[in-house]
Amino acid sequence: MKNIINLYKPIGMTPLQALEKFRFKNKEYHGKKMSYPGRLDPMAEGVLLVLVDEENKKMKQYMKLDKEYEADILLGFETDSHDILGMPKKGERKEINMKSLKKKIKSFKGNYNMEVPVYSSIRVKGKALFNLARRGKIPSEIPKLKVKIKDIFIDYIYEITGKKLLKLILRKINLIEGDFRQEEIKMKWNLLLENSEEKFKVVKLFVRCSSGTYIRALARDIGKDFNGGILLRLKRTKVGKYEIRDSVRM
């Protein structure tokens, strides 16, 4: 039995659901104290560290580890969660200047005062932001975190038609377990994209960052100059020294 597990969290599960599924399939971990240092959103996949028994005493140490991601940012859209699992709004049609886009992305390297997503577990006056957001009670001032983008670059840029985009989004949302407003969100995406042949740009990024960085917030902030930006795909490829190639699959 290991004291730390490099678990591959699939799309659709919360970290807790992934942990419990692993525990169910591996009887030797029944009754053991297990937790994870850092969340991974339901729409994201990749490395999720799980601490077992005595290793939980080192939680703060593991929480400080740097993270690496592959992120696909869809330009021209906004959602209230800053990824596809949110209520979507389409920006006005605008030609994207590639030079401006590359300059914008490069500008995020370094220290970054990041406004957290309202659909997050950050607490305001003892209450999780996502609970306040779902009740329509978003605070007038959203907390900001000081994080650091240690490296960021464009891998490549591609285009996708609205019709194919809708199919991809619905397939991913259908993987979700639990109540995340899925039916209402899917209906909104259908209204925006059904039978659309309009083409949208997607930027594939590599990001290495400090702990606490919300890549959804980064996607939002990159998209501010380009009629919106949201996460279409997010894969966490590394946490500290723990790499995705060594992750345990369920």
Domains detected in the chain: 4-65+242-246 (no CATH), 67-113+145-239 (3.30.2350.10)
Predicted local distance difference test score (pLDDT) of residue 95: 86
With a CB cutoff of 8 Å and minimum separation 6, the contacts of 17 are: 177, 178
- pLDDT mean for each 10 residues of the chain (250 residues): 94 95 94 93 97 96 97 97 96 86 96 94 83 82 94 96 97 93 97 94 98 97 96 98 96
User: Kind of pairing, strands 144-161 and 45-52?
Assistant: unpaired
Q: Which of 62, 83, 35 is nearest to 214 (CA)?
A: 83
Residue 82's φ and ψ, nearest 5 degrees, are 70, 15
pLDDT in the model for residue 127: 80
Q: What is the structure's pLDDT at 135?
A: 82
State the pTM of this model.
Answer: 0.95
Rounded Cα distance between 200 and 185, Å, is 19
By the 10 Å C-beta count (0-12 exposed, 13-18 middle, 19+ buried), 141 is classed as exposed
Active site residue 41: yes
Tell me how far apart the alpha carbons of residues 51 and 54 are, in angstroms, rounded to a whole number. 8
Task: Answer whether 248's CB lies under 8 Å from 8's CB.
Answer: yes
pLDDT at 93: 79
In Å, how far from its chain's centre is CA 197? 27
Look at residue 131 in the predicted model and tell me its pLDDT.
85
Instruction: Please tell me the predicted confidence (pLDDT) of residue 151.
Output: 98
pLDDT of residue 100: 94
> 188: which 2 tokens?
């909104």
Report d(CA 142, CA 124) in Å as an integer: 9
Q: Report angle CA 216, 219, 221 to the nearest 5 degrees.
A: 110
Catalytic residue among 41, 72, 80, 83: 41
Strand partners, 69: 207, 236
pLDDT at 133: 79
For residue 225, count other CB atoms closer than 10 A to its CB.
16
Neighbours of 155 (CB within 10 A): 11
